[in-house]
Amino acid sequence: MRLEPRDDGTFLFPPSAYSDVASYADFWTRVEISDGVLANITKGYADLIRTQVSNLGVNWSHKYDYDHDQELHHGSESSRDTARARRTAAWDKVKADVYTRCPEKIKAGTARTIARAGQAVFYRSALPDENHDELTQATMSIL
């Protein structure tokens, strides 16, 4: 028995080589992506962002609490309450800034395009070396 390599590929197992950027782009814009794969990608992204924000929160809290020790832990109950409210507002601003740059979730309508772009960058080694710059300079519209 002889197993011939197939060059049609799938989203998770794309072809191992392409002749040029055009054929590479054509593959990544056409390949089917199952709903299960998209669900895994969107859940994984949401979990990653949640973990990163949680880790940031721990580090941010340590620094903020150290820098504001006096107002958070000394003085009247009323002044400590005010300091804690300022702390909460400051953290909410930091989180909002993070979520402006990195949304909490991938929207269902853009998940497929984001998945395609991610895989296209990840598997770029299948292109001839001289095409890598052309690929990384290309843009993909998310409508």
Kindly state whether residue 2 falls inside one of the protein's structural domains: no
Residue 108 is encoded by which pair of tokens?
């269902």
Q: For residue 35, is it within any domain?
A: yes
Cβ neighbours, 10 Å, residue 123: 18
Residue 143, domain member (yes or no)? no
Between residues 17 and 27, which one has the greater pLDDT? 27
Locate 52 and state its tokens: 């990163």
12 within a domain of the structure (yes/no)? no
pLDDT at 139 over 70: no
Asked whether residue 61 is domain-assigned, the answer is: yes
> Is there a domain that residue 7 lies in?
no
Asked whether the whole model's pTM tops 0.75, one would answer yes
pLDDT digits (tens, 9 = 90+) for 104-114: 999 999 999 99
Total domains in the chain come to 1
Enclosing domain of residue 44: 21-137
Residue 75 — left, alpha, or beta (φ > 0 → left; ψ -120 to 50 → alpha)?
left
Q: Summarize the confidence of residues 135-140 as an average pLDDT.
A: 69
Q: What does the pLDDT look like over 61-76, one tens digit per residue? A: 999 999 999 999 999 9
